[in-house]
Chains A and B, each alone.
Chain A
Amino acid sequence: MSRTEIDAIPVPTVRAPQEAKRALPVRRNQQRRKNALLGYLFILPAIIGLGLFVVYPMVTSLYHSFTEWNGLTPARWIGLDNYTEMFTNDPKFWSSVGVTLLWVVMSVPITMITALGLAVLVDRSLKGVKVFRTIFYLPVVLPAIAVLTLWKYIYDPTYGLANELLRDLHLPTSLWLGSTHTALASIMIVGVWSVGGTMIIFLAGLQAVPSELHEAARVDGAGAVRRFFSITLPMIGPILLLQLVLQLNAAFQTFNQVAILTKGGPGTSTDLLMYKIYNDGFANFIASPQLGYATAEVWVLFVIVMLVTLLMLRLTRGRFSAGEES
């Protein structure tokens, strides 16, 4: 029944039309309530998931970070002791923070720039471009562990491919993962080898840039470099920013590479914070696991990641929204 129908009904008394008019909102309310119920039923899995896999772990781990806890006996509240121990009495903590920062500051820009370069390279419609795109993307398809175990052997000083190539080119060989000077860089090379995923995301962004913009700029006499910096970069800015944030997030949590390739060594040269947390919380078989201490470290890492993420969003937000408005 629509509103006009109700209004058209002859009016016997004064009260009747009011009731009739009220009937409709009631019905609409029912519909709304039904939709609300249904809506929440549909998204219920995600709400439970948020509670179980995000909120619950965050709350309990925040509590445990203030306790001494080995997982066998009940956790004992020790206030800020874990944090003071970490900041003042654990040299390994500071060295792993340093290694983590070095890793993030070096690997994220290198990956981003390489991926963008490759994306620009294959943003053409020349014959065979799809083959090249596929080849550049291929390493990403392969299981991370299969790739890392392969690279571990590639870096083997005696039998590995890396030194074999250097010998063929009559260059001095390297210890690769075996030296404190080259271990972190060697891990980075593996990352550069598998930038294909980021490349595809950038490529999708590049292809969404309207070609008329480039045409117009070309007519106005802008060269390729100028067009890249004045048109392409601002247009794909939001995609770059999001990737930057996600990559920073992932880089702070790098684990597989270190666990397979170096186990944090040699010395502490690749002992990323994430790997130290794993060792303190799970793998320390000699002493009992220090779960309280490890969760405190998790929270330090968490706060660092969140601060960096917010900082990135803050620093770049004004720029991109200004670009969109103009």
Chain B
Amino acid sequence: MTTTTTPRSVPVSQRVPRLVSRIAWYLLCILLAVSMLLPLVWMISIALKTNSDINQIPPTFFPHEFDWANFVNGPADIHFYRLLLNTVIVTVLSTFGAVASSMVVGYGISRIEFPGRRFWFATITGSMFVPGIVGLIPLQRLYIDTGLIDTYVPLILPAFFGSPIFVFLARQYYQSIPRYLDESALIDGAGHWAIFTRIMIPITKPVWITVAIMSFQLAWNDYLNPLVYLQSSSKFTLSLGMATLLGDQTGSEYNYYMAANLLFMLPPLILFFLAQRYFMEGLGSLGTISK
């Protein structure tokens, strides 16, 4: 940041190296950007190839002719829309649960004085470091015993109990809100619940949007949990369904597969471009866990 401001006083002898370094910077960035995007461009190209084009040896980078029908036939071929519906159900419910629970818990831990709150905050944050794998086998057993296996409950339920990362994010944001806001409301006779719903929910919008986006991503992308907790293919989510299909897929239908895969990528992509700021903010504030 500091190197880029060009005050008028810069002597000519420094301008030329500065220009060279700037050109080098652009060249490096462009090179990296192209190599990052190349796989995705290639994927789009595959998704548009015709059935005969896809098996040509040696393969060409771009399609000979564009087969837009792949975006209709591909998804239809693999029951894409049922997988999509399942994923939407799981994602919407667990996103709602994550936002509600983390905002409530975050409020309690940062705005209400009660004995033991430091302990609970440390314990909740510390549980972030417990590997998730520890829970997998006992919880699968629990869900089998309670008849909840092969339902969406195991995928949705945990979100309603305040995931440590989201509680942490919410708490950090609450801490930055001045105390006098709730103190004056308390003096006016408002209870904590009223302060939470009337004052806090509106002013903490940035953080709960961030939590919503992050939990959307978690649920949308989750693979291991559906793999362990779902059994019937009619209930599969997109991650599980697409991964399972890859095993069955023969080389000849990769154009269909990649067309469906692109549609699978689309909702998070759209969300990202609509709410880019919140993605970056959420990640940025995660870096402050150590403070």
Contact = CB atoms under 8 A, between A and B. Distances in A.
A245 B134 contact: no
B273 to A, nearest CB: 9
A253 B161 contact: no
Contact of B291 (A156, A238, A253): A238
A32 B242 CA distance: 54
B167 A46 contact: yes
Contact of A144 (B127, B140, B191, B239): B239
B33 interface: yes
A96 to B, nearest CB: 14
Contacts of A53: 135, 139, 158, 161
Contacts, number: 269
A54 B131 CA distance: 9
Contacts of A128: 26, 29
A113 B130 CA distance: 25
Contact of B161 (A45, A136, A249, A281): A45
A256 B33 contact: no
Interface stretch (A4-12, A16-24, A99-107, A198-206): A198-206
B251 interface: yes
A97 interface: no
B64 to A, nearest CB: 15
Contact of B261 (A32, A149, A164): A149
A302 B134 contact: yes
A48 B120 contact: no
Contact of B287 (A36, A60, A121, A201): A201
Interface string B67-111: 000000000000000000000000000000000010011011100
B178 interface: no
Interface in A208-224: 211, 214-215, 218
Contact of A45 (B105, B196, B268): B105
A159 interface: yes
A295 B158 contact: no
B131 A301 contact: yes
A77 interface: no
A38 B137 contact: no
B242 A145 contact: yes
B257 A42 contact: no
A199 to B, nearest CB: 9
A38 B186 CA distance: 14
Q: How large is the interface on A (under 10, 10 to 19, 20 to 34, 35 or more residues)?
A: 35 or more
Contacts of B32: 118, 121, 132, 136
B3 A124 contact: yes
A153 B46 contact: yes
A282 B131 contact: no
A136 B36 contact: yes
Contact of A139 (B36, B114, B131): B36
Interface in B1-29: 1-4, 22, 25-26, 28-29
Contact of A167 (B58, B131, B161, B217): B58
B284 interface: yes
Interface in A45-100: 45-50, 52-54, 56-58, 60-61, 64, 71
Interface string B32-67: 110011111011001000000011011101000000
Q: Which of A150, A207, A274 has the most CB of B within 10 A?
A: A150
A298 B130 CA distance: 12
Nearest to A256: B223
Contacts of A277: 133
Interface string B235-258: 000111011001000010010011
Contacts of A129: 29
B25 A298 contact: no
Q: Which of A43, A49, A131 has the most CB of B within 10 A?
A: A43
16 contacts: A38-B191, A39-B114, A40-B108, A42-B109, A53-B139, A57-B138, A57-B139, A118-B32, A121-B29, A142-B269, A145-B238, A145-B242, A149-B242, A211-B2, A242-B289, A253-B132
Interface of A: 32, 35-36, 38-43, 45-50, 52-54, 56-58, 60-61, 64, 71, 118, 121-126, 128-129, 131-132, 134-139, 141-146, 148-154, 156, 158-159, 161, 164, 167, 193, 197, 200-205, 207, 211, 214-215, 218, 238-239, 241-243, 245, 249, 252-253, 255-256, 259-260, 274, 277-278, 281-282, 291, 294-295, 298-299, 301-302, 305-306, 309
